[in-house]
Amino acid sequence: MSEPVKAYPRHLREDHLCMGGSREFFKQHGLSWMDFLENGILADDLAATGNPMAIKVAENARNEAKGKAE
């Protein structure tokens, strides 16, 4: 079984998402912004919000993890 994939602030930056808007998104979805900054967030949890931008960030994190595994 593989490690769960996490998304980190770098994944937001790669998608050119602003930190202020992302912070508000986390607040609206009951997610901890500070925990995300310090530890990342599970890509599955991010995608589970159903938000298209969050799903894209989660996909990028998964693709990065897949590339490192190959």
- pLDDT tens across 35-66, in order? 999 999 999 999 999 999 999 999 999 999 99
Judged against a pLDDT cut of 90, whether residue 2 lies above it is answered with: no
pTM: 0.87
Residue 1 resides in a domain? no
Domain that residue 29 falls in: 6-69
| Residue 7: strand pairing partners | 41
Residue 53 resides in a domain? yes
Judged against a pLDDT cut of 90, whether residue 30 lies above it is answered with: yes
Residue 12 resides in a domain? yes
Residue 41 resides in a domain? yes
3-class DSSP state of 1: coil
Residue 20 resides in a domain? yes
Categorize the per-residue pLDDT at 69 as very low, low, confident or very high, splitting at 50, 70 and 90: low
Query: For residue 61, what pLDDT is reported?
Result: 97
Residue 65 resides in a domain? yes
Residue 26 resides in a domain? yes
- Domains: count for the chain: 1
What are the CA-CA distances from residue 39 to residues 9, 32, 43, 49 (Å)? 10, 10, 12, 19
Query: For residue 70, what pLDDT is reported?
Result: 53
Contact 17, 53 (CB under 8 A): yes
